[in-house]
Amino acid sequence: MQPHSISFLPTRQPQPHLPLFVFFPGMDGAGWLFDGQVDRLMKRFDVRQLAVSSDDRSHWSELTEQAVKLIASEQSAGQELYLCGESFGACLAMQVAGKLGNAVNELVLINPASSFARFPLLAAGSVLSNLLPDVMYSLSAKILASFLINPDRVTAIEQQRLVEAMLSVHPKSAAWRLALLRQFQVDTVVPKLADISTVLIAGECDRILPSVFEIRILQRLLPKSKMIMLPNSGHACLLERDLYLADLL
């Protein structure tokens, strides 16, 4: 495990009198893609954006332990805790919530990538990414970005930011994270989440993962969960104009 492979981005304004809200980013690990959501969330939460180093190749257990310690270093005594994960980050958030148990007041999972291992074609395709030369990796990232969003709902600036975030990850690290998703076993994590209030959010126009199907499975497994469907949203729904997580919650 590399030292300091995860960290919190600089906090705009600590608000320890409000519940601590920790965001776990997707495959890119770039917590700054969440910037557009922060202002509205700050009216209700003490927001932290977790970031994963662009060259990190830690195991799930190592990432989980680091995140648990990081949260403990930020959380004030008696402060409520909300965890929110998107895609890859949802898988990590689930594992962190499983470790923290009743200390988590609410868990929010957005287009969770927990379905990845159940779809052999996705898993097999991810192996090929480790074989791509740098030029092809750059091209494939730009092509993939077009599938991650509904382009009619994401500004050109946000689309460019998404590509930059994806390209910031070293190809071997990207392949490593895909391998982690192939290894993720949701059935071993879900029982630890049974007592945690959970919000499951899915974009109905997700062209990367079967997110609607996945949150329906998770709702059956999690007795304290509720679903929110986003009818026109893609996988990277938090980048969409006029879509605010604070309003959904």
CATH at residue 114: 3.40.50.1820
What length is written for the chain? Answer: 249
Do the domain assignments include residue 144? yes
Do the domain assignments include residue 54? yes
Residue range of the domain that includes 201 = 6-248
Q: What is the pLDDT of residue 151?
A: 86
Place of tokens 């890859």: 88
Do the domain assignments include residue 1? no
Give the Cα separation of 16 and 6 in Å (integer): 22
DSSP code of 11? P
Spans in the chain with pLDDT lower than 70: 1-4, 119-141
Q: What is the pTM of this model?
A: 0.91
Q: How many domains, the chain?
A: 1
Do the domain assignments include residue 153? yes
| Residue 130, token pair as written in the block | 């480790």
Place of tokens 């460019």: 160
* Cβ 106 vs Cβ 197: under 8 Å: yes
| Residue 25, token pair as written in the block | 């980013």
Of the candidates 132, 170, 165, the residue with the CA atom closest to the CA atom of residue 148: 165
Do the domain assignments include residue 194? yes
Helix (H/G/I), strand (E/B), else coil: 182: helix
Do the domain assignments include residue 165? yes
Cα–Cα–Cα angle for 50, 52, 56, nearest 5°? 160
Do the domain assignments include residue 110? yes
